[in-house]
Structure 1
Amino acid sequence: MHPIIIVGSGMAGYAVAREFRKLNPEHELVMICADDAINYAKPTLSNAYVAKKAPEQIALGDAAKMSAQLNMRIETHTWVKAIDATAHTLTLEKDGQTLQQSYSKLVLAVGANPIRLAIAGDASDDIHVVNNLDHYKAFRANLDARADKRVVILGAGLIGCEFANDLQNTGHQVTVVDLAPQALGRLLPQHVASAFQQNLEETGIQFVLGTTVEKVSKVENDDYLVTLANGQSVQADAVLSAVGLQPNLSVAKEAGIHTSRGVITNAQLETNLADIYAVGDCAEVNGTLLPYVMPIMQQARALAKTLNGTATAVHYPAMPVAVKTPAAPLTVLPSPVDVEVTWETEEFEDGMIAKASDHEGTLRGFVLLGATASKQRLILTKQVPDLIPATV
């Protein structure tokens, strides 16, 4: 019997391995990854500074520890060059050598890469992204070496705002730039976004919205001059891009696996090719791409059962997202994009509850801003229909 192979050592890959081992301690399991396979929770990166966590404290276990813990062979610094779905084999590259590896079932947990904007200037290559532990180490080393600690963040989405709050709380001077007219433009209705932004601005964070970065140039004292499309310019000691992620699809596409925004799967996380599955940030499940922790855990539990011989569809209950911005405590349950909703808002001294209901009056999403509103999380979550219902 050939091994089950997991490609990718991020949260999704390790979650599948962990869930599968609960059900099956013996079947051969192999993880293949292009990095060092250190296990850590990526969401901790955006608030590690204020939590006083040095980069080495974020790691939960190296490849050797995880291999022993999960009874799994882990091939680090190994690249999947091709998938032969008919022969059930992978072509791998490691240490300059080409290898062949057979599989019984293949799990693509290949994640997503940061989107990099085309930005002019002689310092455009110095723009940081933080999508893994190595990225975070480089960004942190840059900041720790500087006295002024002025940071420009590209992107006022979830990750950009979390980093902004984290850095502002640790003595940095933060400017957030986004082409959208509001912070968290894809998650919040405009009136909630305004209150959220105001709370962050009260900590000293500056937002420059409705424009984008045109050029990043080196100036005196190793500083950077960030030139915006609206004519403004901002001096910085570091520039961080947090404009979003793009699922890694190239190897899947070349193998004939159907892709759209992500690797297309059904509710059982199966692709169009036999014995090949996808999970995590790269997986578009029944047309939905949810790059958050709770959906990944739901996927991992369902897929582990399927890999162990019991075909199981993933169940997506209503899964609110907690945004790590202590200056403006925020919980968001986005309404489905294909459902027309109307918003109803209840205000408090420290924030608000905004509820999104469909034409039948069914609650389809909500936003909780502030400590008072956050107490309603469980009550409201129970009122929202499942995104992907449980199946018998």
Structure 2
Amino acid sequence: MKITIVAGARPNFMKIAPIIRAIKEHNNEGPKIEFRLVHTGQHYDKKMSDDFFEQLRIPQPDNNLGVGSGTQAAQTAAIMVGFEKELQENRPDLVLVVGDVTSTMACAITAKKLCIDVAHVEAGIRSGDLTMPEEINRIVTDSITDIFFTTTQEASQTLETSGKTAESIYFVGNTMIDTLFQNLENLQAPTWWKEEEFTSKEYFLVTLHRPGNVDDMNNLVNLLQNIMKGTSPSRVIFPVHPRTKKVIDQSGYAHPDLYLTDPMPYLEFLYLVKNAKAVITDSGGITEEATVLSVPCMTLRSSTERPETITIGSNELVGTDPVKLVPFLVKVNEGKWKKSSIPELWDGHTSERIVKIIADRYQ
């Protein structure tokens, strides 16, 4: 059989890497699964992409659509036009999309309009917040998908409640956690770690990228001020996107204990998560990694599509008011953070289960 695997943004790389690895292992023992890797280029930074592909041992894409940035509509349209040509020239039996980025939705729509089956990895998760572009992408993708691979039983139930058949839904676990387990022994300290005299469990790690948190200068400064006040006397590492860095620079805000750095390659960033005293973030995926690593995590959002990181894991939903962060930081500093565990089937073997299911269905 033939599969086309789609990646569009950095979070996708961590989700497809173990699937490709599992396909290669499957091909050593059984009927071969041919695959093409298509990178839409939705998010593309040559250095970061090269780092991720090298560190995660992902083969170079068979096709890079080179879409680049743009408005939601322009980006979606460009992906669909490029991916339609790809599928017409290299028609597969199945298109596999992952996560909830624009590429996920656009490629799923394109495949279905060409009457090609679609499998969605990380299906069924919902935040309930329709102001998030990702939520729209999830809902649309799942409305037309043929095979659903879910990270939790709750996600499977969401799909069944929406009318999907039980035979099309497979609770398999989390491929991003496969990648984490496969790389734990390879984590690397950033080049500046020793020079800046950072010490394990003596710093907080911050990641912020959602427009509501970073686009408004006054709001971002207020957020950083509350973070620095609550984390004192610890230092704070903030890998910051160039767009957000520009807002910080324009504000003139600085703090002696705030260390700003460029976005990090995968192995270096996970090193920072693993060794952090706690993580403060507005990302969904990082809450999953922090949960598996048992690192206290605070999410600066009013909703989450990953409730298991709160009910089972090490994450807490703080909200968007930075003042509400303070009591959570007190718990971290006093060593009173809640006990956590790892969700069911987040065991490092999700990709093997996915590939076996696909092989059984199509071969």
Structure 1 length-normalised TM? 0.30
Whichever structure has more strand as a proportion of its residues is 1
Whichever structure has more helix as a proportion of its residues is 2
Find the structure with the greater CA-based Rg. 1
Structure 2 length-normalised TM? 0.31
